[in-house]
Every structure is written in structure tokens, then in C-alpha cells.
Chain A
Amino acid sequence: MINESRRGFMGKAFGAVAAVGAVASLVAMKKSWDPLPSVMAAGFTTVDLSKFTGNKLEIVKWQGKPIFILKMAADMPAVEKRSVKVGDSYYSVMIGLCTHLGCIPAYRDTTKDFKCACHGGEFTAAGVHSFGPPPRPLDIPPFTIKDGNTIVLGEAGAEYKALIASLSTDINIA
């Protein structure tokens, strides 16, 4: 003899157990969409700055984009809201894509500026647009400074957040 309430309880219990299974499978499905370990590993690029020399541009690849890291030489002034201090030196850390049409500008160490070959845009050593069509300075990738002389691209550290906070809001959503 099974009374009504007992049957109702068993029905609910069955539903609850089934729900647990459904939720558990959702976790597996969510995980299958996560970036793969190989992708995650490529998401952070660690750069040792100790070998850098002033006024010589180094380009590293991070998340499919070229990243410019330029150590300021003694005669190159640090620029407020743009330059990053690592150790005793200042650096420009920027995504090396022209903000006009995404070409990769070249660094000219004689004039200490960037020149975009595509449409003649120019940027200062700190990445601020100084001539031609680019609408805004070169973008800054998220980075953090570790162990005094190492920079990790892809992780938003305190220095990066300070730089971004100081920028005015931009109409571009991309």
C-alpha cells in the first residue's frame, strides 16, 4: 500500500536526483567551452626586461598581437600616463597596431618616433599620435610587473589599472 503523499514524495525525490545529474552535466558542458590549456598558456607572455637597451624597440607576440616594448634612453623623458617604471627605467608598453587601420608601425631610432608605413601616421616614443590619420594613442595591453625586472603581459596589475583609469572614456567599443 503506497499512499498519495508517499508517491508524491518519491516523484519529487526522483526529480531532484535527475536535476543533480543535469546540473553536473552542465558543468561538463561549460568546461568544454573553456579555452584549452594550450590557449591559456599562450595568453600570458613573460618578458625579461634586464637585457633591454635604451632606444631599441623590442616586439613580442601576445595573444596574436604584436606588443611594442621600448626602453627609454637617458635622454628620453618619461611621459605621464603613458610610461611605465620598471626597476630604474621607464618603458613604453603598447599594442603595436596603428590605431588608424591596424598596420604595424616601424620605430625610427634616429627621430625616436614610430612611423606607420600604410598611411603615414606617426606616434611619439610613448605611443601618442603626433601626425596623420590615427585617432588615438597606441593601446596599452594589460600587464603586471613581477620580480623587479620582469613584465607579464595579459595580467592586469596595479600599474596597468592606474594607467587605464587615467585615460578618458572612449567612444569606440572595440
Chain B
Amino acid sequence: MAEFEKANSIGEWFDQRLNVKAFTKVMMTEYWIPKEINFLWAMGALLVMLFKLLIITGIFLLMYYKPDVNMAFDSVNYTIMQEVGYGWLFRNIHGVGASVVFLIIYIHMFTAIYYGSYKKGREMIWLSGMLLFVLFSAEGFSGYMLPWGQMSYWAAYVITEIFGGIPFIGGDLVIWIRGNFYVADATLTRFFMLHVLLIPVVLIGAIAFHFYTLRFPHVNNEEGEFFDYKKESEKYLAGDKANSKVIAFWPDFLSKDFMVIAIFMVFFFYLVFYNNGFAMDPVNFDKADGMKTPAHIYPEWYFLWSYEVLRGFFFEIGGVSGKDLGLMAFGFAQGIFLVLPWLDRSPMVKPANQRPVFKYWFWLLMADLFVLTIFGKLPPTGINAYVGFFASTTFLGLFISLPFLTTIESKIVGGK
């Protein structure tokens, strides 16, 4: 080890030991982002902000929450909501944040689909992003159980019951997951552990990995253009910022992110204070009661589309029961987004609206997800059941047809 010279400033002292200057360059001031972007590119930073809010508020909730079936409900609705100083604020931020984080995840995800940011070297970005989606779903589901209200209980009951549909081991698996024959104390405590420790730790790791995957293929841009980053960054460093196609992560990119975050926070805190019923369902202010089913059981809004796919099949087809068909479709829906980079056979990296075939597919998918989400909350009776069936089969059909449609597109655009 080389001998250290005496440092002339605190900055130098740290630089000698941690190589701060070089690190800052690599991570911030010379980490290049394309300039041709819009505010949708700020969704990642916004998600980081929301995740931070969730962690901080979660820590404060953790100090008074009691993971026990006899105490959980009152520890949330009495201790935290009525007694703890600003406990209600932390809970509202946590509850609304958990719901809104999915809104931003969906915008982030469909931005990627729209701009084709999942192919030609960007597959790992997509895969790690989908991993994050799965982890956030697990985090949301486990957290929803903790207030131990009626919706907590019955959502946990219905969702764990889904595993019962897995052939051969299903019945035992459900009991194993719950630690009991029904959703009980053991279920609550283990989901508490998952929610406050295991999943958050894995999430933080997965977020770091997601950032890392961006490093080599670079962030996509609005036109799907591939260019020489080395040349453009040299232009930038030489002072010709205006003609360079890149900007620095810090301060250029982040200054825009912070602006988007700050504007979004006005909307977010409006929800926290004045309109939080969508994230904190009124039914969940009734204490969990295994002897009394609520009139309507539905998941949080962000799971409605896949819930509707699950129950969209309600009659037997070819000797397979509706329940099993629903489970298969549900499994398909959970996994299919993951392989999107390989279903899209067209080499085009362009915004969907510039792609001759894909644009129809994209907006049809959006419309279908809307129908699934809206009908996913309604009671599945009468015409609703058929709309659900139709929308579910459309969903399956869209993904099954994607490889064929994009092959056609590839021919139309001449393989470019």
C-alpha cells in the first residue's frame, strides 16, 4: 500500500481513503443519460422516492404495531391512529404510498413497453424490473394483512387459497403457508416478518441490481435511437452540451427528476390528507372475523386485473373445471409479462405509435387491462361474468398472438 500524504482538506482526506472523486464521476457526473426523454423517464426516481417514504413511515409504524391477532387491529386503529403523535399521518402516507407506488410501477412498466425499452440488449433491465414488480406485489400483499381488518383477513384467505389449486401438493401447501388450517395468528406473524424484514431486504438488493442492469445497455430514449455514447459524452465534456445527445445523471437528469417528484408530491399529499379511501378500504376498518364474510371480497385495485383473469373462467371447457382454467389463466398472466422481450419478434425499437402493428396491440392491451380492472371489482354475476370471460380470453389471446403479429411487423418494416 502506498503511503498516504497528509491531506489538505476533509475532501482530500476522504478521497485518499474512498476515492470519492472517481466514484462520483462514475456514478453521477459522468454517468450518461440520453437527452431525448420526457417526464416519463422520471418514474424510476419517483419510485425510489416513494419507496423511501414507505420505509421511513414503516419504521415509525413498526414501533407501535403489534403482530398478534388479538392486538393488531387496535394497535393500528387505536394506538397509531388516535394516540401516537402524527401516527395517523405516518399510517396514511404508508397506506396511500403503498397504493400509489403501484400506479407509478404500472406507468413505468407501460412506458417501457410503449418505447420498446425491453429489447436489443435491454432484456435484463426488463427482467429485473419484473422481479421488482413481483417483490412489490408480495410486499403489498403481506402488508395488507397487518391491520387485521376484514379485507386483510379475507384477501389473505382468498389469495392463500389460490395455492390450493396447484396439483397434488395444493392442499398441504396452503396449510404450510398459513401455518394453520385457516388464516390465523401464525399466518399474521410470518407475513409480518416477510413484510418488515425479508422482502424489504431483497427489494433493496433488487433495486440496486435494476440500476446496475441499466449501466451497459444504457437507458432508452424517446425515439429508440442507438448512438455512440463515447462520442456524445466527449462532446458534452468539451462544453458542447447543447449539441450532445447525452446529459449527466447529476445534476442534469436528477434536476428534472426532482422537479417531477416535487410536483407529484403535491398530488400525493392531497391524497394522503383528503382522499385516502381508495388505498384504505372502509371494509378494513371492521376487525377481522373468520366467522363472517364481507359482502364483497376484492383485492386492492392494482391486483384487480389479474384477479379478474382468475375468475373470468367460470364454466367447464373440455372437461376442465372453470376453477382450474381460471388458475391456469392466472398463472399465465403472472408469468407472461416476464418473457415479453422474447414474444416481441420485431426488431424495431420505436415508440409504439410508430410501429405499424404493435401500436394496435399495445392500445388493445391497455383497453383490455382497463376492462379487467374495472370488472375485477364488480360482483361476478350476470353480464359481468361474461364481460370478465371475454376480457380474460382477450388477454390470453393478445399475448399468444404477439409473436405472430410482431413477425408480420418485422416483414413490413424489412427487418429493421
CB-CB contacts below 8 Å: A33-57 with B: 33-36, 39, 43
- Asked if A27 lies at the interface with its beta carbon under 8 angstroms from chain B, I say no
| Distance (whole angstroms) from the CB of B203 to the closest CB of chain A | 20
In the assembled complex, the Cα of A102 lies from the Cα of B295 at a distance in Å of: 9
Are B181 and A103 within 8 A (Cβ)?
Answer: no
Q: Shortest CB–CB separation between residue B287 and chain A, in angstroms?
A: 14
Q: From DSSP, what is the main secondary structure of chain A's interface residues?
A: loop
- Chain A interface bracket (under 10, 10 to 19, 20 to 34, 35 or more): 20 to 34
Most chain A CB inside 10 Å of its own CB: which residue of B157, B290, B310: B290
Chain B, residue nearest A135 (CB)? B381
Q: A43 and B291: CB pair below 8 A?
A: no
- Top-6 shortest CB links A-B: A102-B293, A171-B314, A63-B181, A102-B292, A169-B321, A174-B158
Besides the contacts A34-B179, A35-B178, what 6 more A-B pairs have beta carbons closer than 8 Å?
Answer: A35-B186, A64-B181, A66-B291, A169-B323, A173-B326, A174-B157
Residues of B within 8 A of A97 (CB): 291, 293
Q: Which residues of chain B are within 8 angstroms of A103 by Cβ–Cβ distance?
A: 292
Contact with A along B88-116 (1 / 0, CB 8 A): 00000000000000000000000000000
A-B contact pairs, 24 of them (CB 8 A): A30-B176, A33-B176, A33-B177, A33-B190, A35-B175, A35-B178, A36-B179, A39-B179, A39-B180, A39-B184, A43-B181, A63-B181, A63-B182, A64-B290, A65-B182, A97-B293, A102-B293, A169-B316, A169-B321, A171-B380, A173-B158, A173-B310, A173-B326, A174-B293
Q: Max chain B CB contacts within 10 Å: which of A43, A64, A101, A173?
A: A173
Contacts of A157 in B (CB 8 A): none
Q: A137 near B: Cβ within 8 Å?
A: no
- B186 contacts A173, C-beta separation under 8 Å: no
Q: Report the bound CA distance from A28 to B190 in whole Å.
A: 16
Q: Which of B179, B181, B295, B323 contacts A173, CB < 8 Å?
A: B323
Give A114-142 as 1s and 0s: 1 = Cβ < 8 Å from B's Cβ atoms.
00000000000000000000000000000
Instruction: Please name all residues of chain B whose beta carbon is closer than 8 Å to the beta carbon of A173 when the two chains form the complex.
Output: 158, 161-162, 310-311, 323, 326
Q: Does B385 contact A (CB under 8 A)?
A: yes
B window 306-346: CB within 8 A of A: 310-311, 314-316, 321-323, 326
The answer, yes or no, to whether B297 is at the interface (CB within 8 Å) is yes
